[in-house]
Structure 1
Amino acid sequence: MRNTLSFALMLGCTLSTFSLIACKTQPAPQAEAPAAAAPAESGAPKIYVTNEVSGDLSVIDSGNFNLLATVPLGKRPRGIHSSPDEKTLYVALSGTPIAGPDVDESTLPPPDKSADGIGIFDVAQRKLVKIIPGGSDPENFDVSQDGKQLYISNEDISAVSIIDIASGTIVKTLTIGAQPEGVKATPDGKQVYVTSEETSEIAVLDPAAGKIVATFKVGHRPRSIAFMPDGKHAYINAENDGTVVLVDTKLHKVVKTIQLGKPGLVKPMSVLLSPDGDKLYVSTGRGRMVFTVDTATNKVLGSIEVGRRPWGIALSPDGKTLYSANGPSNDVSAVDLATNAVVKKVNAGQGPWGIVVLK
């Protein structure tokens, strides 16, 4: 009895010792890492950038230049425009493979037509809520004054489509010149200009009648249009000429050619007017510059190097800052227009293309 009790006591002590050792050798539980804090927002206007290569949208705070969100959209987001109330952004999406200037398109994979459409992005939620039809290979577009229709360039079928937003249906598709890209409604909304790069012409769409009412030639490879506030004149780029042309919108005729630089070195891409129409800003792609033109004299006031291949450009709501989407460098530049100097560069996604700034 005494021996049994002694053995039991010894066994208990041994087990207790093992337990103590085990407790001491077990690693202490690790505290969970705190969740990453959301980027600070300043309350300043937001910059929205479509990234053609990475297939997403960058949301950037223009006050502190924090990247607030990166939202997946789909394949090749390019053209981006706001609804009149600025609550919705529309984005052109395309399943046609990217083909640069020197790419043999016959070597590319077939287009994914299921990826074509117009993405509808809710600004408040920062969320893509749906995709509606946009015709074949939509590249760029404009929004009607009442916010009910979209006018869309369909690059691969040489056409312009009219889309009813509420029903998500294609109202009409009209054949125009080859490789259409830029689309812009006149200030009164009664006509829509569409550029055709390959045929170097403008098609004039009457959206109410649903037909093309005029076509006319401009400089080589037009991509973008900017109407003066009174609608009597428009500026259109001519990429391969190194120029911007001034058009009389009543006569549908070029009345002035503004030389920006040597063709091939300076390649005008996007044109944008200041809110008062006094200044015209022109991005120049591989020229790396944004030019400023005085619209009273149609003389070049200056230029600023903003980055590699600037394409889309946009102004802050107060008109004091210009933002450029620089494709190959995957960033956005902010230009102080008072000093004509780049004051900030901020990373976006891969291949920034289009850009919009909203309050």
Structure 2
Amino acid sequence: MMPRTSLVLLVGLAVAVTGCHSSKAPATQENQAVHASSPLRLYVTNEVSGDLTVIDGGSYDVIATVPLGKRPRGIHPSPDGKTLYIALSGSPIAGPDVDESTLPPPDKNADGIGVFDVAQNKLVRIIKGGSDPENFDVSKDGKQLYISNEDVSAVSVLDIASGSVVKELKIGAQPEGVKISPDGKFVYVTSEETSEIAVLDPVAGKITATFKVGHRPRSVAFMPDGKHAYINAENDGTVVVVDVARRKVAKAIQLGQPGLVKPMAVLLSADASKLYVSTGRGGKVFTIDTATDTVLNSVAVGKRPWGIALSPDGKTLYSSNGPSNDVAVVDLATNTVTKKVKAGTGPWGVVALLR
């Protein structure tokens, strides 16, 4: 088990609503002395401290720290940018070599999807998300979530309005990354342990194919035309380019020595001319030219960068760095880190959102 659109480049008091999770959503804690100076906000999930750090995108002051629940990881906005969804899990944190039999039992009551209202700056409810949800994607119409359920090797389909899981499908072991194709006709789900992609047909409600990629895939980025996808291969030190029609790896882009450079998240620029890749223990974010599939440069951002996001204008990249408990701000024009912002404990995911 691994720890980990409005212009979005890259979630209070609980209310009782139909479909809510049985546990209550914790209250928001504001930093009253800080005043916002920009319409841009950064939202950072902190896996260890169980909260959300809200950062002003102009001053880089921390505006609020919002308790969420256990192990917040994946974070994604609704299509209109008014809501953030956050994966929560009661399964204990463990590295890849940990004997899971030595861990405490999971708290299944803590599993769910947090619903965060951007305007109110508060967590308004927690809904079901299957067992041990780690990451997910939001359907094009904003009505469903497709969720990776790590501990049961499954992908769940969640109806947001009813707050219920309408379908659960078994796939390869340790699923994590979930990405809907540009045309919305299928969903890729990565399985770390079995090094494969499951292809989910949302209309048919079934897995229509599986295929192998590099070792320990975690993240997917589709080119806008949907013909190719970039998928990390953590244990190979590569990013693979997938021919979507053939469901086959077309090439592998080597970033560094396997084991030293461990590609994690992949993220395309708005014009899809560049692919950004965080590298975990490698401590860097790499930039790849998608026209030639060659590495342009890299920048050291901090300890174990995981989730990454881009500013709406595409000029700045944000990297959540788990062990150092901060977010790095990268000026992409100069490829330099211009700021480090303290977050909670164990930053995992980050979203940049214009209010």
Q: Same fold (TM over 0.5)?
A: yes
State whether structure 2 residue 69 is matched by structure 1 residue 71: no
Task: Say which one has the larger Rg.
Answer: 1
What SS class does the counterpart of residue 286 from structure 1 fall into?
A: helix
Structure 1: distance between partners of 2:32 and 2:123: 23
State whether structure 2 residue 321 is matched by structure 1 residue 326: yes
- Aligned pairs for 1:1-80 within 5 A: 37-80=32-75
Aligned to 2:244: 249
State whether structure 2 residue 292 is matched by structure 1 residue 303: no
What SS class does the counterpart of residue 106 from structure 1 fall into?
A: helix
Aligned to 2:342: 347
Aligned to 2:5: none
Gaps of 5+ in 2: 1-29
- What is the percentage of aligned positions where both structures have the same residue? 78
What SS class does the counterpart of residue 254 from structure 1 fall into?
A: strand
State whether structure 2 residue 126 is matched by structure 1 residue 126: no
Aligned to 1:26: none
Asked whether the 8 Å contact 2:31–2:63 carries over to 1, the reply is no
Gaps of 5+ in 1: 1-34
Aligned to 2:104: 109
1:1-60 residue CA offsets vs partner (Å, 9 max, x unmatched): xxxxxxxxxxxxxxxxxxxxxxxxxxxxxxxxxx98531211231000000000000000
What SS class does the counterpart of residue 264 from structure 1 fall into?
A: coil
Structure 2: distance between partners of 1:205 and 1:102: 30
Structure 2: distance between partners of 1:44 and 1:171: 36
Aligned residue among 128, 134, 145 for 1:139 = 134
The 4+ residue runs of structure 1 with deviation greater than 4 A are none
Structure 2: distance between partners of 1:68 and 1:313: 20
Structure 2: distance between partners of 1:244 and 1:289: 14
Deviation at 1:62, TM superposition (A): 1.2
Aligned to 2:274: 279
Structure 1: distance between partners of 2:32 and 2:310: 30
State whether structure 2 residue 92 is matched by structure 1 residue 97: yes
Deviation at 1:242, TM superposition (A): 0.2
Aligned to 1:148: 143
1:298-339 residue CA offsets vs partner (Å, 9 max, x unmatched): 000010000000000000011110000000000000000111
More helix by share: 1
State whether structure 2 residue 287 is matched by structure 1 residue 292: yes
Structure 2: distance between partners of 1:44 and 1:75: 29
State whether structure 2 residue 147 is matched by structure 1 residue 182: no
1:123-170 residue CA offsets vs partner (Å, 9 max, x unmatched): 011111000000000000000000000000000000000000000011
Larger RCO: 1 or 2 (CA < 8 Å, sep 6+): 2
Aligned residue among 196, 199, 204 for 1:201 = 196
Structure 2: which amino acid aligns with 1:51? N
Aligned residue among 79, 82, 88 for 2:77 = 82
Structure 1: which amino acid aligns with 2:99? D
* Alignment CA distance shift 1:157-1:41 (3 Å): same
Structure 2: distance between partners of 1:44 and 1:340: 24
Structure 2: which amino acid aligns with 1:329? S
Asked whether the 8 Å contact 2:31–2:64 carries over to 1, the reply is no
Aligned to 2:162: 167
What SS class does the counterpart of residue 53 from structure 1 fall into?
A: coil
What SS class does the counterpart of residue 281 from structure 2 fall into?
A: helix
1:198-223 residue CA offsets vs partner (Å, 9 max, x unmatched): 00000000011100111000000000
Structure 1: which amino acid aligns with 2:137? D
Structure 1: which amino acid aligns with 2:53? S
Aligned to 1:212: 207
Structure 1: which amino acid aligns with 2:60? F
How many pairs are equivalent? 325
Aligned to 1:357: 352
Asked whether the 8 Å contact 2:31–2:62 carries over to 1, the reply is no
Deviation at 1:102, TM superposition (A): 3.3
- CA RMSD in angstroms, aligned pairs only: 1.0
